[in-house]
Copies of this chain bind each other. A is one copy, B any other.
Amino acid sequence: MFKFTRRTEYALIAMRHLQSKSMSEITTTKEISDQYAIPFEILSKVLQSLAKVKIIKPVYGPNGGYIIKQNLSNISLWDFLEIMEGPLGLADCFIDSDCTQLDNCNIRTPIQQINNKMKTILTKMTVSDVTL
């Protein structure tokens, strides 16, 4: 449990990098890939998925790249993580409500309480708490 995926780390690094630039400055995938030693192809896809959810905006053609678009303090860290990694939860029953086999599970309630505590923390924080 617990570790960010590389995708998520790459995304946060890139977003912080983009955030540090002025709104009009365009940054290429290659620039970020080089500076932080992130495999180019992987970072490409990460940035593409960020573009897909409108967090960054692509600029096509020569001298193109990305610019950061949305005010990142709008997005909670929880939501961002779910964008990057899919639905989150300490156990299956908090994700797809299908904790296989464990028909009469005896720990569901206490686990749910822990789950809620973690969720609260991450919901109160925003992406810009990381990127700013």
Contacts and interface: CB of A to CB of B under 8 A. Distances in A.
A83 interface: no
Interface residues of A, number: 44
Interface of A: 1-5, 8-9, 12-13, 16-17, 20, 35-38, 77, 81, 85, 88-92, 95, 101-107, 110-111, 113-114, 117-118, 121-122, 125, 129-131
20 contacts: A1-B1, A1-B2, A1-B81, A2-B85, A2-B89, A3-B90, A3-B95, A4-B91, A9-B91, A9-B102, A12-B107, A13-B105, A13-B107, A36-B101, A36-B102, A36-B105, A38-B101, A114-B129, A118-B121, A121-B121
